[in-house]
Amino acid sequence: MKCPYCGEEMRNGVVYTSPNGVIWMPENVKLKWFWSRGDLLKNGGIAVVPAMIKPNATLKAQLCFKCKKMIADIENM
């Protein structure tokens, strides 16, 4: 899928939640029960909302109820 903002190809992945925060991992990576920042970086993941850094952080996102797609800006997380 092309990014509707810049036209770059978007990557498929999975969003996980845990006491450590909210993370995105590429869809082909199996997430361990316990993960570290090093695990994220090594496997191409990103901490979307790092709970230890920003407790009770929020993430603003746009949601299309028709096509069930969500786009969020994670630049300042």
Is residue 33 included in any domain, yes or no?
Answer: yes
Long-range contacts of 30-36, Cβ-Cβ distance < 8 Å, separation of 24 or more: none
Structural domains counted in the chain: 1
18 within a domain of the structure (yes/no): yes
Predicted pLDDT of residue 36: 75
Range of the domain at 49: 13-72
Instruction: Report yes or no on 1 lying in a domain.
Output: no
In a domain, 47, yes or no: yes
Q: What is the pLDDT of residue 62?
A: 78
Domain membership of residue 5 (yes or no) is no
pLDDT in tens, 21-72: 788 888 888 777 677 778 788 888 887 776 655 556 667 777 777 888 878 8
Q: Please report which confidence band the pLDDT of residue 8 belongs to, taking 50, 70 and 90 as the band edges.
A: confident
Task: Write down the pTM of the prediction.
Answer: 0.67
Q: Which two tokens stand for residue 60?
A: 């603003």
Q: Is 80 exceeded by the pLDDT of residue 9? A: yes
